[in-house]
Amino acid sequence: AVGARTVWTGEDGAEGSATRLKLVANSWVLAVTNAAGEALALAKGLGVDPQGFFDAIDGGPLDMGYLRAKSGMILDDRLSPAQFAVSTAAKDARLIVEAGERGGVRLDVAAASAERFERAAAQGHGDEDMAAAYYASFDENA
């Protein structure tokens, strides 16, 4: 679930309003997941203790529970069983990019997310949680 409640999008399920809303919500989830992974990868590459990053954002508007949850999965190597698999995230990211194209919107972050998920899947992380896109930051599994 993305939110704490069910959102009613209209009477006519055939119009696709719920599907469109899901694409919008998933675009945010996939972007945030990749941003968390990249921040942790950069910390590793620069020799920065990830706790320093968490201390820096602690209590501020960027201190998101979701960031901490996905980061914890990466740092503790708890990527299985997947809550949302890398391979599914790659598929959804491509659907989001295609929907944007149909709507006349270029979605560079979603396209980059799709590439990262596809790279992580090619590295053998397709069945792991989408947080495993972290590994797409490295040429080999870190």
Task: Outline where 1-102 has alpha helix (H).
Answer: 17-46, 50-57, 65-75, 86-102
Q: What is the pLDDT of residue 16?
A: 76
Q: What is the pLDDT of residues 52-106, one digit of tens each?
A: 999 999 999 999 999 999 999 999 999 999 999 999 999 999 999 999 999 999 9
DSSP output for 68-91: HHHHHHHHTT---S-SSBHHHHHH
Choose between 16 and 66: higher pLDDT.
66
Q: What is the pLDDT of residue 114?
A: 98
What number is the average pLDDT over the span 16-31? 91
Q: What is the pLDDT of residue 7?
A: 59
Mean pLDDT score of the chain: 91
CATH says 16-137 is which class? mainly alpha
